[in-house]
Chain A
Amino acid sequence: MRYFAPASLEEAINILLEHEGAIILAGGTDVMVEKRSGKIEPSAVVDIKKLEGELRYMRLSDDRLEIGSLTTITDILHWGKLPHEVTSLKDAARVFGCHEIRNRATIGGNIAHASPGAEFASTLLALDATVQLAGKDGKRELSMEDFFLGPGKANMERGEVITGFSVPLLSGSSSCYMRASRVDGMDLAIINCAIRLQDLDAENLAVRAAFGAVAGKPIRIVEAEKLLAREDFEGVKRLLFDTLNPRATSLRAAPMSKKLLAGNLAEDTYKIAKERLAG
């Protein structure tokens, strides 16, 4: 395995294109674990941490939050200016791994890995974020829905690098992320749920609800959103129990447990988001 530490994005893209089987290394908390366990055998790792000057940022602009791909989970957790509309990002950061993992892991890596239960996958999906990619033909931007293709599979071409995320900040909105896990610290989600609420008028709420580790990729469930908007929690539980078809290969819980858990988690997540909406 070769090791490269390019000093520019262009150089990183070129190395990725020149070396078939090369993989991007950011914090390494997924890549190194999978390499050491033999799950992946990269021909080269392209360490992009020299690009921190360019890709490690959180900025507020024009009703959007821009997050650079090399922003660490610790950066997100401790950023004092995180707008209240996107508190779900802090929820996700708080339960992510442990202190040492959060110091290294990056939001770009968490998304690029395309794990169905990744903390920031459902979170960014519910927040209607877009992912920004740079490659040899320039830049492109995708919705989170279009980005995830399946377990470990993302809509990325060879030679592409995630540069950042753009999150809309809707007026009169709130969000929450919750997960079910066996222990609080250093665990992965059995399933997770992220919800964004927006006040439309005195009586109507717009709901976006995303679920992780209930399918091969993080998914939005539009029917559940409609039931949540009416606060029909029994309806949500029935719907998710009847329609979810979690993979039997999950390490953390049987499909039946996940089907039973999903509606309860959705209710809890919705209620916290609603409280936050009230301020």
Chain B
Amino acid sequence: MSVEIKINVNNRDYRLIVDEEDTLLYVLRERLHLTGTKEGCGNGECGACAVLVDGEPVRSCIILAAEMNGKNIVTVEGLSKVEKDGTVKLSPIQESFIEEGAIQCGFCTPGFVVASSALLEKTKDPTDEEIEEYLSGHLCRCTGYATILKAVRKAAEKTR
């Protein structure tokens, strides 16, 4: 059976008919073609599918799209801004990930970037411990954690 939902994704309103079993992740990737959000483990353990729902990071692979009626969703694509002349302006956290080379295979990166941006919305000056705690549910199987920490610290400095 299907159900109608109204959601706002990256500042755009959508009215969608979705299957009752569709996950939020599926709808973002396959219906809205926002493929920045990744499916890693598919059971809420790895964090690759993190998106913001009403400003809070959640795992889109274990949330039904039907649950999202009326919600505001931000994916990794929504963190950057497109200027009037068409150029893309990355967010401080995205810039810092590039500058610090906080990436190896890149699969975990959207999840880390989305969660880190939520952290920096809350705390402008997080301690290393706070960053580690906040991101503890995100797995990087290339084990590039040191550069990720560096990037988040650098982005915090930029936004201060």
Contacts and interface: CB of A to CB of B under 8 A. Distances in A.
A98 B56 contact: no
Nearest to A186: B137
B151 interface: no
Contact of B57 (A28, A29, A99): A99
A33 B137 contact: no
A32 interface: yes
A100 B48 CA distance: 12
A103 B23 CA distance: 18
Contact of A99 (B62, B69, B115): B115
B136 interface: yes
Given A1-B21, A33-B44, A100-B57, A184 B63 contact: no
Given A3-B3, A47-B67, A185-B133, A103 B56 contact: yes
B121 interface: no
Contact of A184 (B21, B42, B57, B136): B136
A98 B67 contact: no
B134 to A, nearest CB: 5
Contacts of B61: 32, 36
A68 interface: no
A33 B136 contact: no
A53 B135 CA distance: 30
Contact of A33 (B47, B58, B62): B62
Contacts of A184: 136
Interface string B123-141: 0000000000111111100
Interface residues of B, number: 30
A36 B43 contact: yes
Interface in A73-97: 97
B45 interface: yes
Given A99-B115, A100-B50, A32 B63 contact: yes
B47 A32 contact: no
A5 interface: yes
Nearest to A1: B21
Contacts of A104: 58-59, 62-63
A28 B60 CA distance: 11
Given A98-B47, A186-B137, A32 B64 contact: yes
A176 to B, nearest CB: 20
A3 B1 CA distance: 8
* Interface-central residue, B3, B44, B134, B137, by most chain A CB under 10 Å: B44
A98 B136 contact: yes
A32 B62 contact: yes
B114 to A, nearest CB: 10
A101 B43 CA distance: 11
A49 interface: yes
A98 B45 CA distance: 9
Interface string B33-50: 000000000111101001
Interface in A1-56: 1-3, 5, 25, 28-29, 32-33, 36-37, 45, 47, 49
B64 A2 contact: no
A49 B58 CA distance: 15
A185 B138 CA distance: 9
A32 B63 CA distance: 7
A103 B115 CA distance: 12
Nearest to B3: A3
Contacts of A101: 44, 59, 137
Interface of A: 1-3, 5, 25, 28-29, 32-33, 36-37, 45, 47, 49, 97-101, 103-104, 184-186
Given A36-B23, A99-B133, A104-B63, 7 more contacts: A2-B1, A2-B20, A3-B3, A36-B62, A97-B137, A99-B137, A100-B57
Which A-B residue pairs are the 6 nearest by beta carbons? A98-B137, A185-B136, A32-B62, A3-B20, A3-B66, A186-B137
5 contacts: A3-B1, A36-B23, A98-B138, A186-B137, A186-B139
